[in-house]
Amino acid sequence: MDIVSISGSRIVEVARLAFATPDVDFLCFGESDRPSPLPARDALVAAIDGGETHYPDVRGLPDLRQTIAAYLTGLHATPVAESRIQVTASGMAAVTIAMNTLVSAGQRVVIHGPLWPNIANAAHLRGAVVETIDLIPASDGFRLDLDRLDQMLRGARVFVLNSPNNPTGWTARTEELRAILDIARRHGVWVVSDEVYSRLIYDDRAAAPSMLDVAEPGDRVMVCNSFSKAWVMTGWRLGWLVVPEGMRDTIADIVEAVFSGVAPFVQRAGIAAIRDTSVVADIRRHCEIGRQVASEALSGLNGVRYAPPPGAFYAFIGIDGLTDSLGLALDLVRNHGVAVAPGVAFGPSGEGSLRVCFANQPDRMARAMERLRAGLRAAKR
- Model confidence over 155-203: pLDDT tens digits? 999 999 999 999 999 999 999 999 999 999 999 999 999 999 999 999 9
Kindly state the percentage of the chain with pLDDT values over 90.
95
Coil/strand/helix, residue 68: helix
Is the bond preceding residue 114 a cis peptide, omega within 30 degrees?
A: yes
Residues paired with residue 110 on neighbouring β-strands, in sequence order: 131, 159
Average pLDDT, the chain: 96
Q: Is the pLDDT of residue 9 over 90?
A: no
SS (H, E, C) 187-230: HCCEEEEECCCCCCECCCCCCCCCHHHHCCCCCCEEEEEECCCC
CATH code for the structural domain at 10-30+279-380: 3.90.1150.10
User: CA torsion sign, 136 to 138 to 140 to 146?
Assistant: negative
- AA letter at 252: A
Contact 21, 334 (CB under 8 A): yes
- AA letter at 316: F
What is the predicted pLDDT for the residue at 2?
67
Kindly state the percentage of the chain with pLDDT values over 70.
99
- Model confidence over 85-113: pLDDT tens digits? 999 999 999 999 999 999 999 999 999 99
Residue in 344, 305, 356 with CA at minimum distance from that of residue 141: 305
What is the predicted pLDDT for the residue at 263?
98
> What's the predicted TM-score (pTM) here?
0.96
Q: Is the pLDDT of residue 225 over 70?
A: yes
What is the predicted pLDDT for the residue at 58?
98
- AA letter at 266: V
Is the bond preceding residue 35 a cis peptide, omega within 30 degrees?
A: no
Residue in 173, 199, 170, 176 with CA at minimum distance from that of residue 315: 170
Q: Is the pLDDT of residue 343 over 80?
A: yes
The domains of the chain are located at 10-30+279-380, 38-275
Average pLDDT, stretch 344-352? Answer: 96
Q: Is the pLDDT of residue 1 over 60?
A: no
Contact 328, 15 (CB under 8 A): no
What is the predicted pLDDT for the residue at 20?
97
Report d(CA 107, CA 136) in Å as an integer: 26
- Model confidence over 314-336: pLDDT tens digits? 999 999 999 999 999 999 999 99
Q: Chain centroid to CA 231: how far?
A: 13
Q: Is the pLDDT of residue 82 over 90?
A: yes
Report d(CA 297, CA 147) in Å as an integer: 36
Average pLDDT, stretch 299-317? Answer: 95
- Model confidence over 358-367: pLDDT tens digits? 999 999 999 9
Angle at which helix 264-275 crosses helix 38-49, to 10 degrees, equals: 150
The listed CATH number (3.30.70.20, 3.40.50.970, 3.40.640.10, 3.40.50.10320) that belongs to domain 38-275 = 3.40.640.10
Coil/strand/helix, residue 86: strand
Q: Where does the chain show beta strands of DSSP type E?
A: 25-26, 85-88, 108-113, 129-134, 136-138, 141-143, 158-162, 190-194, 221-226, 239-242, 304-305, 314-319, 338-339, 341-342, 353-357
At 140, the pLDDT band (50, 70, 90 cuts) reads confident
